[in-house]
Structures are given as structure tokens and as C-alpha cells.
């Protein structure tokens, strides 16, 4: 099996399932049989360029996010190329649940990256089962990272992530992820860790993700939620 076809098919399936679209619905939109589309997604048969453009339009995903991309340890500076993958962690005290997410960064300009945000995945190998799929951008100004996202399923939900690059050599960045909760219909913000590598999912990580006494003291003193950039 051709690796390029296999990866392209996997990318198509990941986005289709993340958007909650069944194989039959997708096949109907593409005016292809379900069996043919299944072969596309499994890398069994080639996809002609016109069909690939149709798939991109149906999923509303740029073509460069669907096609096979060579893996490199160095950030890419070619437009539309996958530059990096970041792992985002947050922690909900209710249910004592560690939430894992993935942010894929694509190079689009010197200071701006196109970003796909797979929120709340059961594992980093199951992006298709994310609880929310967001598309947006990241801009960098010095040590400041600003992300803006729109939920692909609920277009009225806009989500923001702000991080300061760590001054230490711990390899990760602390930040705040803010949005409107569709459970309580109220604005909220959670502490997150953004890392270029997967972190050990232990009690130490959970402790880092909790708002500590110093965070609460700053909130009471300044009436503003801020976190340490460690």
C-alpha cells in the first residue's frame, strides 16, 4: 500500500469523523459509492485531483491539511506545510479528568500559522474521536502566543488561547483557554499546558494544571485571573 495514499486517506477519515459526518453522508455529498469512498480512506485506490478538491470543499478543510506531508524534525517554512504538533493538557477537578488535545500548526506566513485544534481526544492516536474540532490561527509576537479558534460544528463558539513562552527549560508553556461553556452558557477560562512533546500523565501534571493559592491571591488582589508563566 502506498504510504502517501494511506496517510491522505487517514487524514480525510479523521476530519470527516471529527465533523460527525457518516461515511454514507460523505459519499452522498461526493456523489460516489460508499465502497469507493471507503477505499479512498483506506488508501486502497488513488484519488484524482478533481475529487480531492471536492473532498476539500465538502469538509471545508484546506487541501494541504488532507494530503500526505513528509515528517521532519525541523519546523517547515514552506507555505501550507505542517510545521509542528503541540499537545495541550487541561484538568477538570469534577470527575478528576485530565483532558488531552492536539494542535497542528501549518505555516502560512512569517508571524501567523494556520492551526487545527482537536479538543479532548481519548488518545493522541484518535484525533477523529475529538469532542470538538476547531479551526483558527496563531500569531507570535516575541514570547507571546495568541490563538483564535472557531468551533466547526457550532460556529457561534469562539475560543481563545493565550500563552507566554516559558523562561525556564521545562519545555512547556502555561496558558489560559477561554470560551463560552455550552453546559452552563457562561464565559469561562481554564489553565492549560502546551507542550511540543507528550507529557507524563501523573499527579504532578494535574497539580500544575490546578489554580493554586498564588493564582487565587492574585485574583482577589487584582480582580483579574492571571497565572504564573513557569
pLDDT score, position 46: 93
Say how far residue 190 (Cα) sits from the centre of its chain: 16
DSSP β-bridge partners for residue 82: 106
Q: Are residues 218 and 109 in the same domain?
A: yes
Task: Give percent of the chain above pLDDT 90.
Answer: 66
Q: Cell numbers of 189, please?
A: 477560562
Sorting pLDDT into bands at 50, 70 and 90, what band is 86? Answer: very high
The residue among 140 and 195 whose pLDDT is bigger is 195
What are the start-end ranges of the H helices in the chain? 3-18, 23-30, 34-41, 49-59, 203-209, 213-222
In a domain, 177, yes or no: yes
Q: Cell numbers of 76, please?
A: 517547515
Q: Are residues 218 and 108 in the same domain?
A: yes
Q: 10-14, 106-110, 150-154, 217-221: which has the highest mean pLDDT? A: 10-14
Q: Are residues 87 and 147 in the same domain?
A: yes
Domain end: 65, 100, 115, which one?
A: 65
In this structure, is the dihedral angle defined by the CA atoms of residues 14, 19, 20 and 26, taken in order, positive or negative?
negative
Q: Are residues 108 and 14 in the same domain?
A: no
Domains in the chain, number: 2
Q: What is the DSSP string of 170-214?
A: SS-EEEEEEEEETTTTEEEEEEEEEESSPPP-SHHHHHHHS--HH
pLDDT score, position 185: 74
Does residue 73 surpass a pLDDT of 60? Answer: no
Whether residue 118 contacts residue 100, with contact meaning beta carbons closer than 8 Å, is answered with no
Sorting pLDDT into bands at 50, 70 and 90, what band is 142? Answer: confident
Tell me the mean pLDDT in the region 49-58: 96
Check residue 79 and report its DSSP letter. Answer: T
For the chain, give the mean pLDDT: 89
Measured distance between the N- and C-terminal CA atoms of the chain, rounded to whole angstroms: 46
pLDDT score, position 230: 57
Tell me the mean pLDDT in the region 112-135: 95
Tell me the mean pLDDT in the region 194-201: 95
Of 147, 90, 159, nearest to 113 (Cα)?
Answer: 147
Q: Are residues 108 and 195 in the same domain?
A: yes
In a domain, 74, yes or no: no
Structure confidence by residue, pLDDT tens digits, 162-192 = 998 877 657 899 999 999 876 667 888 999 9
Tell me the mean pLDDT in the region 3-7: 90
In a domain, 72, yes or no: no
Please report, for the domain that includes residue 61, its CATH number: 1.10.260.40
pLDDT score, position 102: 98
Against a cut of 0.75, is the pTM above it? yes
Whether residue 82 contacts residue 102, with contact meaning beta carbons closer than 8 Å, is answered with no
Tell me the mean pLDDT in the region 126-144: 93
Q: Cell numbers of 223, please?
A: 480582580
Residue 184 lies in domain: 82-222
Of 181, 182, 147, 151, nearest to 20 (Cα)?
Answer: 151
Amino acid at each position: 500500500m502506498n504510504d502517501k495514499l494511506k496517510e491522505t486517506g487517514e487524514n480525510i477519515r479523521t476530519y470527516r469523523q471529527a465533523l460527525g459526518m457518516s461515511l454514507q453522508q460523505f459519499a452522498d455529498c461526493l456523489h460516489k459509492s460508499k465502497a469507493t469512498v471507503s477505499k479512498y480512506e483506506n488508501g486502497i485506490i488513488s484519488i484524482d485531483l478533481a475529487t480531492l478538491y471536492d473532498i476539500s470543499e465538502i469538509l471545508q478543510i484546506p487541501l494541504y491539511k488532507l494530503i500526505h506531508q513528509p515528517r521532519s524534525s525541523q519546523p517547515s517554512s514552506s507555505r501550507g506545510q505542517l510545521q509542528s504538533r503541540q499537545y495541550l493538557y487541561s484538568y477538570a477537578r469534577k470527575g478528576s479528568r485530565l483532558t488531552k488535545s492536539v494542535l497542528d500548526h501549518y505555516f502560512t506566513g512569517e508571524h501567523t500559522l494556520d492551526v487545527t485544534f482537536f479538543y479532548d481526544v481519548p488518545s493522541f492516536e484518535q484525533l477523529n474521536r475529538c469532542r470538538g474540532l476547531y479551526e483558527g490561527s496563531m500569531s507570535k509576537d516575541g514570547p507571546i502566543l495568541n490563538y483564535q479558534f472557531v468551533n466547526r460544528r457550532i460556529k457561534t463558539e469562539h475560543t481563545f488561547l493565550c500563552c507566554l513562552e516559558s523562561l525556564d527549560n521545562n519545555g512547556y508553556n502555561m496558558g489560559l483557554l477561554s470560551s463560552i461553556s455550552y453546559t452552563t452558557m457562561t464565559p469561562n477560562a481554564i489553565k492549560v499546558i502546551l507542550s511540543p512533546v507528550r507529557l507524563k500523565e501523573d499527579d504532578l501534571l494535574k497539580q500544575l494544571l490546578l489554580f493554586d493559592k498564588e493564582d487565587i491571591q492574585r485574583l482577589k488582589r487584582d480582580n483579574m485571573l492571571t497565572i504564573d508563566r513557569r
